[in-house]
Amino acid sequence: MNLKIVVRGVMATAVKDIKIYYKKPPVFIFGLILPTFLFFAFFVGRQLDMEKYYPGFLAMALFFTASSVGPLIIPWEKQAGTFERLLSLPVSIPILVLGDTIAGAGFGLIISLVIFAAGALLLPFPITLMAVVAIPLLFILGNLCFAALGVLLSSPAGPVPSNIMMLAALVRFPLIFISGIFVPLAEMTGTARIVTMLSPLTYLVDGFNHALGNGGALPLVLDLLMLMIFTVVFLLTANYILKRKSLKGL
Partner 1 sequence: MPAIEANGLTKLFGEFKAVDDVSFEVPKGQFFGLLGPNGAGKTTTIRMMIGVLRPDQGNVRIMGVSMDREPLLAKEKLGVIPEIGNVYPDLTARENLELFGRFYGLTKRTRMERASALLEELGLGARSDEKIKRFSKGMKQRVSIGCAIIHQPQVLFLDEPTEGLDVQSRRMIVEKVNGMNKAGCTVVLTTHNIEEANRLCHRVCIINHGKIVALDTPERLRSTFEGARSVEVTFDRVVECGLFFDQCITRAEGEGNKLRFYTSDPDEAMNKIMQVRDDLGLTIISLNTLAPSLEDVFVKLTEMSA
Q: Of these, 87, 131, 137, 171, which contacts partner 1 (CB under 8 A)?
A: 87
- Pick the closer one to partner 1 by CB: 92 or 214: 92
State the Cα–Cα distance between residues 139 and 108, nearest whole angstrom: 9
C-alpha distance from residue 168 to each of 131, 149, 171, 227 (Å): 32, 9, 5, 19
6 touches partner 1 by CB under 8 A:
yes
State the minimum distance, in angstroms, from the CB of residue 249 to partner 1.
11
| Interacting positions 42-81 with partner 1 (CB under 8 A) | 80-81
90 touches partner 1 by CB under 8 A:
yes
9 touches partner 1 by CB under 8 A:
yes
Q: Find, among 234, 235, 239, 249, the residue nearest to 77 by Cα.
A: 249
Q: Of these, 43, 50, 92, 214, which contacts partner 1 (CB under 8 A)?
A: 92
Q: Find, among 142, 159, 130, 151, the residue nearest to 219 by Cα.
A: 130
191 touches partner 1 by CB under 8 A:
no
Q: Of these, 12, 48, 169, 197, which contacts partner 1 (CB under 8 A)?
A: 12
247 touches partner 1 by CB under 8 A:
yes
Q: Are 180 and 56 in contact (CB under 8 A)?
A: yes
Q: Are 201 and 176 in contact (CB under 8 A)?
A: yes
State the minimum distance, in angstroms, from the CB of residue 90 to partner 1.
4
Three-point CA angle 230, 136, 171, nearest 5°: 35
Q: Are 66 and 234 in contact (CB under 8 A)?
A: no
Which residues lie near partner 1 (CB under 8 A)? 1-2, 4-6, 8-9, 11-12, 15-16, 19-20, 23, 80-82, 84-85, 87-92, 247, 250
